[in-house]
Amino acid sequence: EVQLLESGGGLVQPGGSLRLSCAASGFTFSNFAMSWVRQAPGKGLEWVSTFSGSGRLIYYADSVKGRFTISRDDSKNTLYLQMNSLRAEDTAVYYCPASKEGYSGSPFDYWGQGTLVTVSS
Amino acid sequence: SYVLTQPPSLSVAPGKTARITCGGNNIGSKSVHWYQQKPGQAPLVVISYDSDRPSGIPERFSGSNSGNTATLTINRVEAGDEADYYCQVWDSSSDHVVFGGGTRLTVL
């Protein structure tokens, strides 16, 4: 059974930093593309970043480029998102969906339950 | 940047057909994925690559994509289909994933 468990969310002040983790199990993690997608309270889905599978390509949304860094540790089956210079508009539930076909255009096949990040003073 | 446009809301009576559109410039040349999100839950892919139905998704769900519009069709709508629906593409010109704004489906 595929499982994705996001963690690391919480309350942080504007300008602060936070690192999210996504622990994966039940599939060959290294073959999957992994992404971060967020959803602000009461709003729609917003893509944040993708780390492809075997190709090892990385992509970022314009809104986070230069502030957020995606990484993965295939030996630990874990995806990370280092978030710096956080802003109020980064407040959202952060999901780490997995794409079994491993490339950037493939659908988000599996989702975790998300972790809430709140940026506020 | 590439934009996907969905109607914010759609209301359908039980047993009828819901058609949720997703508009984008020449979207027919892209692969469209559709997600269902119920309150308090993570999204679930219901249609991938325009018209493929993942395992476990009822046959009542189907998709099409041509020209400037992709469509998610739900036949014989049930109360349990009430949810937010999002379309999504990969825009190769910008190397970005793009989501539509979402459509809230209400079953009357």
Per-residue pLDDT reduced to its tens digit, B25-48: 999 999 999 999 999 999 999 999
A57, A60, A99, A108: which to substitute to probe chain B, counting the most B Cβ within 10 Å? A108
pLDDT at A55: 65
Tokens read off for B1: 């940047």
- Closest by CA to B99, choosing from A17, A50, A76, A28, is A50
Write the pLDDT tens digit of every residue in A2-42: 999 999 999 999 999 999 999 999 999 999 999 999 999 99
Total residues found in chain B within this entry: 108
| B107/A30 Cα distance (integer angstroms) | 41
Cα–Cα dist B108/B95, whole Å: 39
Full DSSP string of B41-77: S--EEEEBTTTB--TTS-TTEEEEEETTEEEEEESS-
Cβ–Cβ gap A95/B48 under 8 Å: no
CA separation, residue B100 to residues A28, B5, B15, B27, B55 (Å): 30, 6, 26, 12, 24
Chain B CB contacts of A59 under 8 Å are 95-97
Look-up of token digits 């073959």: A31
Instruction: Return mean pLDDT, chain A.
Output: 96
Q: Is A105 on the interface with B (CB under 8 A)?
A: yes
